[in-house]
Amino acid sequence: FKNLSNKDITETILFPMPAVPSFTGSDFADTSETYNNFKLWVNGKPIDPELHVRTFMYPIVVKDSDRTYANTSVDTTEIFKSCGLNEADMMGPWTYQVDTEYVNQRLLDCNNKALDKFIYDRESLYIPWDSQVIYSWEQKFKANATTKIKHSYTPLVGGSVHLGQEGFPNFCVDASTQRGFHKNGSRPYHALSYILTTGANWAKPISNFKLTVERDPNELVSFCWKGKGKVTKVSATTFEIKETNFMPTHDFDVAFIMK
């Protein structure tokens, strides 16, 4: 990142992970693999970022005299804290160190009236809420200078036992890829989403962009690319995309499909 001004700029940088539900099915992503493996280097020096956790709940709405949950969640971190729940409790969906039923029981026992907007049935331990991990650090960008930031982490990879046709457009599954699907007709897959469009907020395009996608030998891979650069197969299992003066207009979704 180059500071184009004549003054030093100090900012708090946030790197959020996805919010994950407290109740998960057997095919949900392995959050424990992603949790707490975010690594950061600034100008080649390792930095220890701070870790924060937020919780989100879904307000109850009434539709045609029926009560249901809203599609958009609300930050309820302070409500959780008022009920005596700490960050370790709220991080349970990531670490599996705290049972969800314990947290839900604490919410049911809590006398914070704000919870009435989110708890549908006080006789049930089923309370939908999400947990989000966010990393932060204070960063100085020196005047008229370039700051080199490198970060790495294991992404949150989801998937399911079957990739139906309704999911084909999301990953641009073509006829050639379909011919390689599992012979019994099922399409078990893993999926990964990566946000690129924030790069369009920068002062200038990305001079040199390279994306490498590598699949395992027992997988097929399918994804969409809407940039000007071509998708090049550089080995039997590896694909590469290069762009110059790149201004991202779309995010990146990729599916790794079992043969």
The SS3 call for residue 100 is: helix
Please count the CA atoms within 13 angstroms of the CA of 133 that sit on its side-chain side. 23
Q: What is the pLDDT of residue 25?
A: 59
Closest CA to 51 of 176, 137, 110, 127: 137
Query: Based on C-alpha coordinates, what's the Rg of the chain?
Result: 22
The gap from C-alpha 196 to its chain's centroid, in whole angstroms, comes to 12
Least confident of 21-25, 54-58, 114-118, 128-132: 21-25
Please count the CA atoms within 13 angstroms of the CA of 184 that sit on its side-chain side. 5
Q: What is the pLDDT of residue 33?
A: 77
Give ∠ CA 59-69-34 in degrees, rounded to 5.
Answer: 85
- Look up residue 118 and give its amino acid: F
Evaluate whether 257 touches 215 at the Cβ level (below 8 Å).
Answer: no
Q: What is the pLDDT of residue 68?
A: 86
How many other CB atoms are found less than 10 A from the CB of residue 173? 22
Convert 126-142 to b/e letters by CB count within 10 Å (16 or more is b): ebbbbbbbebebebebe
Q: What is the pLDDT of residue 63?
A: 80
How many other CB atoms are found less than 10 A from the CB of residue 84? 10
Q: What is the pLDDT of residue 142?
A: 97
Evaluate whether 91 touches 134 at the Cβ level (below 8 Å).
Answer: no
- Look up residue 224 and give its amino acid: C
pLDDT tens by residue, 96-151: 899 999 999 999 999 999 999 999 888 888 899 999 999 999 999 999 999 999 99
Cβ contacts of 211 within 8 Å, gap of 6 or more? 240, 241, 242, 252
| pLDDT at 27 > cutoff 60 | no
Q: What is the pLDDT of residue 161?
A: 85
Q: Any idea where the domains of the chain sit in the sequence?
A: 9-141, 157-258
**pLDDT tier, 23 (very low <50, low <70, confident <90, very high otherwise):** confident
| pLDDT at 245 > cutoff 90 | yes
Cα–Cα separations (whole angstroms), residue 53 to 28, 47, 79, 82, 92: 20, 19, 13, 15, 10
Cβ contacts of 208 within 8 Å, gap of 6 or more? 242, 243, 244
